[in-house]
């Protein structure tokens, strides 16, 4: 993990990006266009109208649906590399990913770059790891070259999505019991993907994309309060308490496509198992792979809070 010296494919000619209208896909596309690669991009989406701007920028926009495998062969045609951005339906993604992998393998794609998750070991109780572990196995069995970008927990999710609610209520409820993780900026993950897509030497490599610091949620709360002038209290509970909180918020236990409740686009089975994984130490790891891939250090949680301080302060009561 983290070794960058293996031989691999050189810079590819055409890159197909799945889920190109999502946050990760849009940011990756922006960065590749900025490198002059618009004409080399094939963007797959269930809703091509959302990417009309990309067509105007010179990208090929194609309809493709993970749930309709018959749509994917034409969608991937002509690409040599696929950026397979994992789907959003946690617990139900393996069938979707398999459709994309099969289409890629059958239609000339030679290399899959996959957005996986840090520590997909079977002992990790976070249910997200099941999808990622099985998808990685399918990719490795496909005969194509592969690169696994094992992204840590997005700091954006906790600070920018959930953070305003914590600030307004004054409570950050958790069952992590002081467990540590090195949360990472989504943009740093995207920068790593762009580096892999545009430089040689990454075939059959796995990278753990983490932030620079292993921190507890208590330490993150202290940072937020110091920077924002907020008065968030960390409240420890257990898994049952977390489910009760999410149930009261109207967040579904199982995933629902395109649903967001109070700015939170997840489901509680996912989040509660995630908290358990932190509590049990499965996410307690930190690497320098962002620096190895991008040439600069990963940005910190504190950096993210400071970068979005104005928005976050607007949620401070009074």
pLDDT of residue 267: 78
Q: Say what the pTM is.
A: 0.91
How many C-beta atoms surround the C-beta of residue 141 within 10 A?
Answer: 10
CA angle 11, 13, 14 (to 5 degrees): 120
Cα 86 to Cα 24: distance, rounded to the nearest angstrom: 10
CA 11 to chain centre: 23
Q: Is 293 strand, coil or helix?
A: helix
Across 78-174, the runs of DSSP E, i.e. the strands, are 81-84, 111-117, 145-151, 171-174
pLDDT of residue 245: 87
Interval 51-75: pLDDT, tens: 999 999 999 999 999 899 999 999 9
Interval 203-246: pLDDT, tens: 999 999 999 999 999 999 999 999 999 999 999 999 999 999 88
Cα 51 to Cα 60: distance, rounded to the nearest angstrom: 10
What is the mean pLDDT of the segment spanning 13-34?
95
Tokens of 37: 């690669």
Cα 110 to Cα 94: distance, rounded to the nearest angstrom: 20
Cα 86 to Cα 142: distance, rounded to the nearest angstrom: 17
How many C-beta atoms surround the C-beta of residue 258 within 10 A?
Answer: 8
Q: Do residues 14 and 179 touch, judged by C-beta distance below 8 A?
A: no
H or E element that contains 129: helix 128-141
Give φ, ψ of 59 to 5 degrees: -85, 155
Tokens of 177: 């019991």
Cα 274 to Cα 92: distance, rounded to the nearest angstrom: 16
Cα 84 to Cα 82: distance, rounded to the nearest angstrom: 6
CA 261 to chain centre: 19
What is the mean pLDDT of the segment spanning 121-139?
93
Q: Which residue has the tokens 């967001």?
A: 260
**What residues contact 313, with CB distance under 8 A and at least 6 apart?**
228, 229, 230
What value does the mean pLDDT of the chain take?
Answer: 91
| Poorest-pLDDT segment among 87-96, 103-112, 188-197 | 87-96
The strand pair at 145-151 and 111-117 is best described as parallel
Cα 57 to Cα 45: distance, rounded to the nearest angstrom: 16
């Amino acid at each position: 993990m983290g070794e960058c010296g293996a031989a691999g494919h050189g810079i590819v000619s055409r890159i197909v990006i799945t889920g190109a209208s999502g946050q990760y896909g849009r940011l990756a596309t922006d960065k590749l266009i900025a490198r002059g690669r618009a004409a080399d991009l094939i963007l797959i989406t269930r809703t091509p109208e959302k990417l009309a701007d990309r067509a105007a920028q010179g990208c090929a926009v194609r309809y493709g649906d993970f749930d309709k495998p018959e749509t994917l062969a034409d969608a991937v045609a002509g690409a040599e590399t696929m950026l397979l951005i994992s789907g959003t339906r946690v617990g139900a993604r393996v069938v979707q990913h398999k459709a994309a992998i099969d289409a890629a393998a059958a239609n000339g794609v030679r290399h899959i770059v996959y957005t996986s998750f840090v520590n997909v070991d079977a002992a990790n109780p976070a249910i997200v790891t099941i999808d990622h572990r099985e998808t990685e196995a399918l990719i490795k069995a496909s005969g194509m070259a592969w690169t696994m970008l094992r992204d840590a927990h997005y700091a954006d999710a906790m600070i920018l999505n959930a953070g305003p609610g914590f600030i307004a209520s004054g409570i950050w409820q958790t069952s992590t019991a002081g467990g540590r993780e090195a949360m990472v900026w989504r943009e740093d993950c995207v920068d790593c993907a762009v580096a892999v897509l545009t430089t040689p030497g990454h075939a059959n490599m796995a990278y753990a994309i983490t932030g620079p610091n292993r921190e507890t949620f208590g330490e993150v709360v202290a940072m937020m309060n110091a920077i924002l002038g907020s008065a968030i209290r960390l409240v420890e509970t257990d898994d049952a308490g977390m489910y009760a909180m999410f149930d009261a918020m109207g967040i579904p236990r199982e995933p629902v496509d395109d649903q967001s409740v109070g700015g939170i686009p997840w489901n509680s089975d996912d989040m509660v198992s995630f908290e358990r994984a932190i509590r049990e130490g499965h996410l307690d790891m930190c690497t320098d792979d962002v620096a190895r891939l991008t040439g600069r250090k990963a940005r910190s949680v504190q950096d993210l809070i400071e970068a979005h301080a104005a928005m976050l302060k607007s949620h401070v009561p009074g």
